[in-house]
Structure 1
Amino acid sequence: MSLKTMREDAGLSQQELCHAIGCSAVGRVWSWEVWDQSPRPKSARNPRIMRFEMAKRMADALGLSLDDFWAGLSD
């Protein structure tokens, strides 16, 4: 499962998720979402290596446990 799928399942736009996690730029959410694309954009970031605090905020915003969030990124 991708971060984009988790976000869409939660009914959030990129901007809404960005606001919910306290991020100042929607581009950060985009850069995590495009990680799995091929070819991968140069500005893509691997969501599997984000800081713990950010992952916790992301899981909370998506209505997931931290374990489910990490498991979703691993699928």
Structure 2
Amino acid sequence: MPKRILQGTVVSDKNEKTVVVKVERRFTHPVMKKTVRMSKKYKAHDENNAHKVGDQVSIQESKPISKDKRWVVITPEQA
């Protein structure tokens, strides 16, 4: 089974080897028939502290790295 890959924007890089990525999804509301935007933040592992606030990144599911880190930032070469 393939691992999920999401794309989002880095909103925090203050933690060591960790970035917080905000992923936005858009869908049509089933009752209102209106496009709704929802966002969620994921903590992702960034081994080299390479990404800064505002960067567009792709993150991939992985085994748990810490209490709430289950995603890894992937570089374009890995995708």
More strand by share: 2
TM interval, short-chain normalised: under 0.3
More helix by share: 1
Which entry has the higher C-alpha Rg, 1 or 2?
A: 2
TM-score in terms of structure 2 length? 0.23
